[in-house]
Amino acid sequence: MMEGSAYARLTERFRRRALIGDALGILDWDQATTMPEGSADGRAEQIATLSVIRHELMVAPGVGESIGQAEVDLGDASPDDWRLGNLREMKRAHLLAAAVPSDLVAATARANAACEVRWRSARAENDFAGLLPALREVLNLIQQTAAARAEALSLAPYDALLEEYEAGTRMVTLDPLFDRLATHLPDVLLRIIERQNAQPAPVRPEGPFDIAAQRDLAAELMQALGFDFDRGRLDVSHHPFCGGATGDVRITTRYNEDDFTESLMGVLHETGHALYEAGLPDNWRFQPVGAALGMAIHESQSLLVEMQVSRSRPFLSFALPRMQASFGGRGPAWDVDNLYRLYTRVEPGFIRVDADEVTYPLHIILRYRLERAMLSGDLDLADLPGAWNDTMSELVGITPPEDRLGCLQDIHWPSGSFGYFPTYTLGAMAAAQFFSAAKRAMPGIEADIAAGRLAPLLSWLRTNVHGQASRHTADALLTRATGEPLNPDIFLDHLEARYLGDG
């Protein structure tokens, strides 16, 4: 493993890291879809063992020195050289891992696991007080982790957490983006509701919808979008996700016999993630530069497929006859205009995962504000429920009647994920921007979609996003693909056109 140049040695090390990650991806998938319930303990041990080995690879003696040497050795490389991106991602992974002492890593893993367990019952029992001690411990440790990373990376503590999920994201760039959304969206929301109320309500297709037929329809639309079942799967799990390994992309869903679109739109969302993974460059597989760029760009791909494409009128024109054939659908509900209004219905609610694309960013901005305040200590955890309800009322205009519809709804904080939430809305904005650029580049793309010709869209995404992997930073990727860095106006224009224009 230790032959050749510093860079060559690093590629061997990171190749091993990626393959351990792939093995973990299959173990996670199996746990969620297949594993017998009584086998959870052993699985936790397997996952912990591989995670520790992967962490050791990053913090082993000499890794930092090899990176320094490789930076010198590649000093003359052209800026287009993929090896530079590889080295950038290697350095980031190494710094993030090496910044945190092993005993803090271990303590965090234990505290997060314990708090997750506590959270499941606390949410069910609407018992925030019961969660508080475990959550305090998680926050205490995440504050230590943030401080350690901040020091190593010369970043503010919250930025040091963001860095793990989407490299280069900083509060200083998030603030104006989110301020712009927070200023505009509440008003946009009111106008949309007003307009919706002036129209007849859409009609919901009536079930029951056979599960096997739902599965076949989902697979048909996945394949139309470009999903390859020879290198991927569709299965069932309690919480839908996209996982698996390099060249083995597995998405999951959960079927509801009364409403086939719940599962279908979820599948299309995960298909967006899966197409990204499947479209990463073969030449760089198992290397950091060949991996997906970060959670925001990943979410942009799922939201592009779900929100920009699948809930659009052209895609629904293509999908409707297939839906009807699957379920023998007849009557006023089975009409493109009706389905389009149904699938773009805006309804402010308490629960983030059920939110429409207009309200969704407000859920995120709330969490962004509160997690920053918790991390800095400005918000004491005991005051979280009140702060949550106040912010919800301010941003969305509704107040949760109980904590399970408020600050107890998400697993992120109990499981130690601080700094993750912003990537959802960064992804929504990037999705609008990518799709807008694709439409500009291919003026016939919506007619193609309506006709079921989805290959041109996939081809554009492969060239401009998937095939670029982690070669550039997110801003550079966006600029190369769309002509400018992230611009929230494109997302706001999309909402304006879809919900207040001609749709």
Which of 39, 121, 126, 283 is close enough to bind its own copies by CB under 8 A?
39
Report the distance separating Cα 68 and Cα 62, nearest Å: 10
User: Which residue's CB is nearer to its own copies, number 2 or number 72?
Assistant: 2
Single out the residue of 320, 220, 317 nearest to residue 271, CA to CA: 220
Q: Is 281 in the site for its own copies (CB under 8 A)?
A: no
Q: Is 76 in the site for its own copies (CB under 8 A)?
A: no
**Has 270 been annotated as catalytic?**
yes
Report the distance separating Cα 486 and Cα 484, nearest Å: 7
Which of 194, 228, 258, 390 is close enough to bind its own copies by CB under 8 A?
228
Single out the residue of 168, 16, 11 nearest to residue 74, CA to CA: 11
Report the distance separating Cα 21 and Cα 244, nearest Å: 10
Total interface residues for its own copies by CB under 8 A: 34
Report the distance separating Cα 192 and Cα 138, nearest Å: 39
Single out the residue of 120, 138, 184 nearest to residue 384, CA to CA: 138
**In whole angstroms, how close is the CB of 56 to its own copies at the nearest point?**
9
Q: Which of residues 244-263 bind its own copies (CB under 8 A)?
A: 245-248
Q: Is 49 in the site for its own copies (CB under 8 A)?
A: yes
User: Which residue's CB is nearer to its own copies, number 31 or number 256?
Assistant: 31
Q: Which stretch binds its own copies (CB under 8 A): 2-10, 243-251, 401-409, 477-485?
A: 243-251
**In whole angstroms, how close is the CB of 427 to its own copies at the nearest point?**
26
Q: Is 187 in the site for its own copies (CB under 8 A)?
A: no
Q: Is 359 in the site for its own copies (CB under 8 A)?
A: no
Q: Is 35 in the site for its own copies (CB under 8 A)?
A: yes
Q: Is 220 in the site for its own copies (CB under 8 A)?
A: no
Q: Is 455 in the site for its own copies (CB under 8 A)?
A: no
Which of 4, 229, 402, 440 is close enough to bind its own copies by CB under 8 A?
229
Written as six digits, the tokens of 323 are: 């839906």
Report the helix count and the strand count for the chain, using DSSP H and E: 20, 3
Q: Which stretch binds its own copies (CB under 8 A): 2-10, 241-249, 295-303, 471-479?
A: 241-249
Q: Which stretch binds its own copies (CB under 8 A): 49-57, 180-188, 335-343, 464-472?
A: 49-57
Report the distance separating Cα 272 and Cα 302, nearest Å: 4
**In whole angstroms, how close is the CB of 30 to its own copies at the nearest point?**
6
**Which one of the listed residues 163, 164, 166, 270 is annotated catalytic?**
270
Q: Is 216 in the site for its own copies (CB under 8 A)?
A: no
Counted residue by residue, the chain has a size of 503
Q: How far is CA 36 from CA 22, 114, 175, 244, 452, in A?
A: 21, 21, 45, 18, 40
**In whole angstroms, how close is the CB of 459 to its own copies at the nearest point?**
20
**In whole angstroms, how close is the CB of 181 to its own copies at the nearest point?**
40
Are 165 and 423 a contacting pair, CB within 8 Å?
Answer: yes
**In whole angstroms, how close is the CB of 59 to its own copies at the nearest point?**
13
Report the distance separating Cα 299 and Cα 427, nearest Å: 5
Q: Is 337 in the site for its own copies (CB under 8 A)?
A: no
Written as six digits, the tokens of 58 are: 């990053």
Q: Is 107 in the site for its own copies (CB under 8 A)?
A: no
**In whole angstroms, how close is the CB of 229 to its own copies at the nearest point?**
7
Which of 50, 441, 450, 476 is close enough to bind its own copies by CB under 8 A?
50
Query: Residue 254 gets which letter from DSSP?
Result: -
| Buried b / exposed e along 401-440 (16+ C-beta atoms within 10 A) | eebbbbbbbbeebbbbbbbbbbbbbbbbbbbbbbbbbbee
Q: Is 369 in the site for its own copies (CB under 8 A)?
A: no
Q: Which of residues 13-32 bind its own copies (CB under 8 A)?
A: 16, 19-20, 22-23, 26-27, 30
Report the distance separating Cα 164 and Cα 149, nearest Å: 10
Q: Is 419 in the site for its own copies (CB under 8 A)?
A: no
Single out the residue of 389, 408, 391, 407 nearest to residue 399, CA to CA: 389
Q: Is 42 in the site for its own copies (CB under 8 A)?
A: yes
Q: Is 38 in the site for its own copies (CB under 8 A)?
A: yes
Q: Is 125 in the site for its own copies (CB under 8 A)?
A: no
Written as six digits, the tokens of 351 are: 């629960």
Q: Is 283 in the site for its own copies (CB under 8 A)?
A: no
Which of 92, 136, 180, 231 is close enough to bind its own copies by CB under 8 A?
231
Q: How far is CA 386 from CA 128, 227, 395, in A?
A: 11, 45, 14
**In whole angstroms, how close is the CB of 255 to its own copies at the nearest point?**
19
The alpha carbon of 144 is separated from its chain's Cα centroid by a whole number of angstroms, namely 25
Which run of H or E residues covers position 449?
helix 445-450
**In whole angstroms, how close is the CB of 97 to its own copies at the nearest point?**
17
Edge-to-edge strand order for the sheet containing 232-236?
A: 232-236, 248-253, 242-245
User: Which residues are bridge partners to 249 per DSSP?
Assistant: 232, 244
Which of 3, 36, 61, 212 is close enough to bind its own copies by CB under 8 A?
36
Binding site for its own copies (CB under 8 A): 16, 19-20, 22-23, 26-27, 30, 34-39, 41-43, 45-46, 49-50, 53, 228-233, 245-248, 285-286
Positions marked catalytic: 270
